[in-house]
Amino acid sequence: MSTTPPLLRASGVTMRFGGLTAVDGVDLAVRENEIVGLIGPNGAGKTTFFNCLTGLYVPTEGAVLFAGETLPPKPARVTRAGVARTFQNIRLFANMSALENVIVGRHTRTRAGLLSALAHGPRYRREERESRERARELLDFVGLGGQADLLARSLSYGAQRRLEIARALASEPRLLLLDEPTAGMNPQETAETEELVRSVRARGVAVLVIEHDMRFIMNLCDRVAVLVQGTKLTEGAPGEVQADERVVEAYLGAPDDEEEPTPRSPQNRERTA
Amino acid sequence: MIPKTSTPAARALVVCGAALSLVSPFLAWTWTSRYPGNLTVYGYPGGSQLLTLAGALLAAVFTAAVLGVPGLRALAPAGAVRALRAASLAALTATWITVGAIAVDLGGVVNVEPGGWLAAGAVLLLAAGAHALPDDTVTEPPPAARLPRAAEGALITVVFLAAMYVLTYGITTDSAQDFLAFLPAAGFGVRALAAAGLTARFGALTARNRIAVAVAALASALVFPFTQTGDQYTAIADNILVFAAVALGLNIVVGLVGLLDLGYVAFLGTGAYTAALVSGSTFSTFDIGPWPFWATALLGMGVSLVAGLVIGAPTLRLHGDYLAIVTLGFGEIFRITVNNLDGTSGPRLTNGPNGINSVPNLTVFGFDLGTRHTLLGVTFGRFANYYLLLLAVIAVIVFVYARAGNSRIGRAWIALREDEKAATAMGIEGFRYKLLAFGLGASLAGLAGTVMAHLQTNAVPENYKFADTAPPNSAFLLAAVVLGGMGTVSGPLVGAALLYLIPAKFAFFSQYQMMLFGLALILMMRFRPEGLVPDRRHRLEFHDEQVAAAEARRTAAEATA
Ligand SMILES: Nc1ncnc2c1ncn2[C@@H]1O[C@H](COP(=O)(O)OP(=O)(O)O)[C@@H](O)[C@H]1O
Ligand SMILES: [Mg+2]
C-alpha cells in the first residue's frame, strides 16, 4: 500500500429513500492511477453510490473527500473538481452530433458567456476552436473520429457507450466513474472497451468501474469492492474477491438478478425529467 | 404501392394534362367580373388563374424531367415523379378550389365558362397521369456541382426573391377565395421542390454561404415596401413582423431549451406598456417622454428582462407540464393586472381596459416614423417606415438567436432540453441557464413590444391574451414556433406569417376559427410533428428510422469518398 493520500475517499456514505437504505455506511478509496472495480448483484446500491459521489444525490450520512477536499453535493462543482461519469442506461444528448456531445462535456473547462458569444471576439473564437480540437482528439481517442458529425442517436450501441466516455473525458477529470460500460456489448466490443479503459488510465485518469462481467473486472482492476444490499461485503485484489465464498453466495443467492434489466435499446432516454 | 400502369399511357396523360393546364389560365373561366380577380378575359391570366399557371409550369418542368429532356433532369436530383405528383396537386387544388368557388359564389355551375371546365379537366388528367407513373425516387441523389461563390450568392438571392414574391402574393391577395386556393397551391409547390431534392440542395447551399443568406434575406425583405403603393398591405406586413419577432424570441425558450412557456405574450405586453408610459402620450400616467427610440427600446427590454427574471426565478424549478401551467397563470396575471391598474380597482397606472392610447410615433435618428420620407424616388409612408424598423429588430433577434444558439450557452441549452440529468452531470447548472434563456427571451419580446405600442398607437390589455382569434397571443405564438419548426430561424417566420394571414384573410369565418386552429394543430402533430421547416435534430427525432438510415448511408458514402 502506498502512503500518498487517495484521490477519492468516501467514508460512511449512507443513502436512505424513506424506509429503504440503498447505500449503508460504505467506505471506499481510489488512488491516483488506479482502476477499482465495484461489483454486486442488481439493486445492491452501486448506481446510488455513484450518484452520491457526483452530487446527483445528497448522501443522508457520510462524507466524500476528493483530493483531500470535501466534494460539495453540486454536480457542477463535482465535475469542475475533476470527477466525471457515464450512465448505466446511456444518457447522451441524442439529437446533438457526436462532436457537440463531447464539446458539451467541456462545459466546465470553458468560460464564454452570453455577451462574448454575441460579440464573437478573438478570445471567444480561440476558446471555441480549442474546444473543437480537443473534442475531435477525444473522438479519435475512443475510435469515433469518422462519426463526429453524426447525431448521437444514429450511432451504434457500442459507439454510443464510447461516446459517453469521450464526453466524460472532455471535462478533463482526474477520476472517471463508469457505470456498467460493457452492458449489452458482445465479447469483441467488451474487449475493446477493456482496452479503452486501460488507455484512459494511461492518460493519468483513475477509474472506478461498476461491472457485472467478471472477466472484464478480473483483467482490468487493481482492486475490487463488493456491494451487497447497500453494505460493502469485502474489498481486495480481484483473485481474492473471486475466491471469497460470501461473494459467490451473494451473487447466487440473489434471485432478483432480473430486477433491473440493462436496457439494450440506445433510445431509452426519458422525455420528461 | 402504385399499380403498374403502362407507362406510355401515363406519360401521354401527363403531357396532355400539362399542356392543357398551361393553356387554360389564358382562357375565360367565368362570364362576370363579380368573381374577384377578373377571370373573364381571354389572352392573359388573372386572379387565381395565376396559381393554376404556376402549378402547371412547375408540373411542366418536372414532366420534362420525367421525359428525360436534356438538362432538365438535373432539376430533380432526387427523382422527378414524386415532384411531378406534388406539382400536379398544386395545380389541381388551386384550379378546383377556384372553379368550385365560382360555382358557389355566383350560384351554380352554369357560371363556369368552357375555359374553366377545360382547366378543371386538364389538371385532373395531369394529376391522374402523374400518379400513374412509376416512382423514380433516388435515395442517394448525386452531390451537387459546386458553383463559383458569386453564382451561389446570386442563386440564393433569386430563391429568396421568389419566396418573397410568393409571400407577397399571399399578403396582398384580398379575396378569401383566392387565398384559399393559394394555400394548398403554395404548400404542394413547396412539397414538389422538396420531393425533387431541391430544398435539400438549397439547404446545403445556404449552409455554405451564411453571409450571403443574411444579405439575400434582408435584401428581398427590403423589396417589399418598394412594390407597395398603398399602406394597406404594408400594415399587414408590419403586424406579421411584430408577431414573427416575438415568435423568434419564444423560439429560444421553447425551441432551444425546451421550456413550455404559455404566458410569453406578457413580455410583449410589458414592453408595449413600458414604451407607452414613456411615450409622452397624454393618456400616460407619467408626464415624461417622448424618448428617442434607443432609450425606449432599452427601457422596454430592461423592464421585460426584470419581469422575466422575477417570473422565471420561482417557476423554472418546475418541469414540463407544471411549468406550462404556471407560466399560463402568470400570463393571465399580467393581463388582469393591467386591466385593474385603473385608479379604482388598484393604483392608477395603465387606465385599465381603456389602455394607453394616442401613443405618438417613434423618432429614430431624427426621422419621425409617422411622416412620409422619400427614398430612391419611392415614398415611404408610416407603415413602410415601421416595416424598415421592424426588419432591423428582426435582424437583431435573428443575430442574437443564431450567435447564442451556436455558442457554449446554446449547446448548454440544447443539452438541458435533450437530457437534463446528463447535462447536470456535465456541469451545466440547469436553473441558471434556463433563467438566462427566459430572461433573454423576455427582453427580446420586450423589444418587439416597444415597437408594437407605437405601431398600434396604444397598449391595451386585450392585445395580450392567452388565446384569441388573432395574433399575437400566447397560444398563437407557441403555435407559430411549433408549426413553423422549433429550433430554426425560418420556421417561426413562416409559422407567424401563416398564422397571421389565415385568420386575417378568412375573417368571415371567425366563429369557427378556434376550432379549425385546433384541428390544424392536431393534424400537424399527427403528420408533421417536426414543423414546416424542421431542423436536422427534430426531423430525426420524429422520423427516426428513415432519416437515420439516410444519414448512415450519407456518412458511409462520405467516409469512402
Ligand atoms: N431515487 C430513488 N428513490 C427510491 N429508491 C431508489 C432511488 N434510486 C435507487 N433506489 C433504490 O435503491 C436500490 C439500489 O439501486 P441501484 O443503486 O440502482 O442498484 P444497482 O446499481 O446496484 O443495481 C434499489 O432498491 C432502488 O430501487
Ligand atoms: Mg446500477
Summarize pLDDT for B252-302 with one digit per residue, the tens. Answer: 999 999 999 999 999 999 999 999 999 989 888 888 878 999 999 999 999
pLDDT value at residue B558: 54
In a shared domain, residues A114 and A90: yes
- What ligand has the least distance to the C-alpha of A254? 1
**Strand, helix or coil at B6?**
coil
Nearest to B263 by CA among B254, B255, B276, B272: B254
Nearest CB among B418, B536, B540 relative to A93 is that of B418
Q: How many CB atoms lie within 10 A of CB B366?
A: 6
In a domain, A21, yes or no: yes
In a domain, A50, yes or no: yes
Cα B121-B123-B128 angle, rounded to 5 deg: 95
**Cα first-last separation, chain B:** 34
Q: Are B435 and B313 in contact (CB under 8 A)?
A: yes
pLDDT value at residue B221: 95
DSSP string, chain A: ---SPPSEEEEEEEEEETTEEEEEEEEEEE-TT-EEEEE--TTSSHHHHHHHHTTSS--SEEEEEETTEEPPS-HHHHHHHTEEE--SS----TTSBHHHHHHHHTGGG----HHHHHHT-HHHHHHHHHHHHHHHHHHHHTT-GGGTTSBGGGS-HHHHHHHHHHHHHTT--SEEEEESTTTT--HHHHHHHHHHHHHHHHTT-EEEEE-S-HHHHHHH-SEEEEEETTEEEEEE-HHHHHH-HHHHHHHHT-GGGGSSPPP--S----S--
Q: Which of A15, A16, A17, A42 has most ligand 1 atoms within 8 Å of its beta carbon, as the pocket-test mutant?
A: A17
HEC readout, B39-87: CCCCCCCCCCHHHHHHHHHHHHHHHHHHHCCCCCHHHCCCCCHHHHHHH
B289-293: long-range pairs with CB below 8 Å, 24+: B290/B360, B290/B363, B292/B363, B292/B364, B293/B362, B293/B363, B293/B364, B293/B389, B293/B450
User: What is the CA(A210)–ligand 2 centre distance, in A?
Assistant: 8
- State mean pLDDT over A100-104: 98
Q: Provide residues of B within 8 Å CB-CB of chain A.
A: 319-320, 399-400, 403-404, 406-412, 414-415, 418-429, 436, 440, 536-538, 540-541, 544, 548, 551-552, 555, 559
Among A151, A172, A193, give the residue marking a domain's end. Answer: A172
A260 lines ligand 1 (CB under 6 A): yes
Compute the nearest-CA separation of B548 from chain A (Å). Answer: 6
Nearest to B449 by CA among B299, B318, B321, B337: B299
Which residue, by CA, sits nearest to atom 10 of ligand 1?
A: A22
Contacts of A221 (CB under 8 A, 6+ apart): A35, A36, A37, A209, A238
**C-alpha cell, A228:** 451487497
Q: Which of A47, A53, A259 has most ligand 1 atoms within 8 Å of its beta carbon, as the pocket-test mutant?
A: A47
Q: How many CB atoms lie within 10 A of CB B126?
A: 33
Asked if the Cβ–Cβ distance from A114 to B414 is below 8 Å, we say: no
- For B192-217, b where at least 16 C-beta lie within 10 A, e where not — what string? bbbbbbbbebbeebbeebeebbeebb
Nearest CB among A104, A107, A272 relative to B319 is that of A272
Longest dimension (CA), chain A: 64
In a shared domain, residues A45 and A95: no
DSSP string, B318-379: S-HHHHHHHHHHHHHHHHHHHHH-BSSSS-BSS-GGG-B--PPPPEETTEETTS-EEETTEE
C-alpha A231/C-alpha A40 separation (Å) is: 10
In a domain, A187, yes or no: no
Nearest CB among B320, B426, B540 relative to A95 is that of B540
Report whether pLDDT(A258) > 50. Answer: no
Q: pLDDT-based confidence at A86, cuts 50/70/90? A: very high
Q: Which of A91, A150, A176 to mutate to test the interface with B (most CBs of B within 10 A)?
A: A91
pLDDT value at residue B557: 56
Residue spans per domain, chain B: 8-218, 228-527
Q: Are B388 and B226 in contact (CB under 8 A)?
A: no
In a shared domain, residues A7 and A40: yes
Domain that holds residue A243: 1-75+176-181+208-273
C-alpha B383/C-alpha B389 separation (Å) is: 10
Put simply, whether A155 touches B (Cβ < 8 Å) is no
- Tell me how far CA of residue B514 lies from CA of B471, B509, B517, in angstroms: 12, 10, 5
In a domain, A194, yes or no: no
Report whether pLDDT(A159) > 60. Answer: yes
- State mean pLDDT over A97-123: 95
In a domain, A196, yes or no: no
Q: Fold for domain B228-527?
A: ABC transporter involved in vitamin B12 uptake, BtuC (1.10.3470)
Which residue, by CA, sits nearest to atom 3 of ligand 1?
A: A17
User: What is the CA(B363)–ligand 1 centre distance, in A?
Assistant: 64
Edge-to-edge strand list for the sheet holding A175-179: A83-85, A175-179, A206-210, A35-39, A223-228, A231-236
Report whether pLDDT(A272) > 80. Answer: no
Which residue from A minimizes the CA distance to B428? A76
**Strand, helix or coil at B145?**
coil
Please report residues of A whose CB lies closer than 8 A to that of B429. Answer: 76
CATH of the domain at A163: 3.40.50.300
Q: What's the pTM?
A: 0.90
Q: Give the CA dihedral B498, B504, B510, B513, nearest 10 degrees.
A: 0
Among A172, A195, A220, give the residue marking a domain's end. Answer: A172
Nearest to B281 by CA among B413, B453, B87, B123: B453
Q: Are B87 and B189 in contact (CB under 8 A)?
A: yes
Put simply, whether A261 touches B (Cβ < 8 Å) is no
Q: Which of A97-101, A214-218, B206-210 has the lowest mean pLDDT?
A: B206-210
Compute the nearest-CA separation of A195 from chain B (Å). Answer: 24
**Cα first-last separation, chain A:** 43
Nearest to A38 by CA among A181, A217, A245: A217
Tens digit of each residue's pLDDT, chain B (561 residues): 444 556 888 999 999 999 999 999 999 999 888 888 888 888 888 889 999 999 999 999 999 999 988 888 888 888 899 999 999 999 999 999 999 999 998 988 889 999 999 999 999 999 999 999 998 888 777 777 788 889 999 999 999 999 999 999 999 998 899 999 999 999 999 999 999 999 888 988 888 888 999 999 999 999 999 888 888 899 999 999 999 999 999 999 999 999 999 999 999 999 999 999 999 898 888 888 789 999 999 999 999 999 999 999 999 999 888 999 999 999 999 999 999 998 888 888 999 999 999 999 998 888 888 888 887 777 888 999 999 999 999 999 999 999 999 999 999 999 999 999 999 999 999 999 999 999 999 999 999 999 999 999 999 999 999 988 888 999 999 999 998 988 899 999 999 999 999 888 887 777 787 888 888 888 888 888 888 887 766 555 565 555 556 555 555 555 554
User: What is the CA(B531)–ligand 2 centre distance, in A?
Assistant: 38
pLDDT value at residue A260: 43
Asked if the Cβ–Cβ distance from B415 to A267 is below 8 Å, we say: no
Asked if the Cβ–Cβ distance from B426 to A171 is below 8 Å, we say: yes
Q: List residues bridging with A224 in a β-sheet.
A: A37, A236
- What ligand has the least distance to the C-alpha of A18? 1
Residue carrying the nine cell digits 478509496? A29
Residue carrying the nine cell digits 453524426? A150
Q: Which of B321, B408, B440 to mutate to test the interface with A (most CBs of A within 10 A)?
A: B408
Nearest CB among A54, A103, A114 relative to B411 is that of A103
User: What is the CA(A90)–ligand 2 centre distance, in A?
Assistant: 12
Compute the nearest-CA separation of A272 from chain B (Å). Answer: 7
In a shared domain, residues A159 and A88: yes
In a shared domain, residues A225 and A154: no
Q: pLDDT-based confidence at A263, cuts 50/70/90? A: very low
Q: Which of B256, B419, B420, B436 to mutate to test the interface with A (most CBs of A within 10 A)?
A: B419
In a shared domain, residues A2 and A61: yes
User: What is the CA(A243)–ligand 1 centre distance, in A?
Assistant: 27
DSSP string, A108-164: GG----HHHHHHT-HHHHHHHHHHHHHHHHHHHHTT-GGGTTSBGGGS-HHHHHHHH
Contacts of B36 (CB under 8 A, 6+ apart): B47, B174, B175, B177, B178
User: What is the CA(B107)–ligand 2 centre distance, in A?
Assistant: 73
In a shared domain, residues A68 and A89: no
pLDDT value at residue B207: 85
Domain count, chain A: 2
Report whether pLDDT(A4) > 90. Answer: no
ipTM of the complex: 0.90
C-alpha B297/C-alpha B310 separation (Å) is: 20
Q: How many CB atoms lie within 10 A of CB B146?
A: 10
Cis peptide before B134 (omega within 30 of 0): no
In a domain, A87, yes or no: yes
**Strand, helix or coil at B534?**
coil
C-alpha B423/C-alpha B425 separation (Å) is: 5
- State mean pLDDT over A139-158: 94
pLDDT value at residue B514: 81
Compute the nearest-CA separation of B243 from chain A (Å). Answer: 24
User: What is the CA(B415)–ligand 2 centre distance, in A?
Assistant: 23
C-alpha B492/C-alpha B473 separation (Å) is: 14
Angle, to 10 degrees, between the axis of helix B7-23 and the axis of helix B49-67? 150
Rg for chain A, CA atoms, rounded: 19
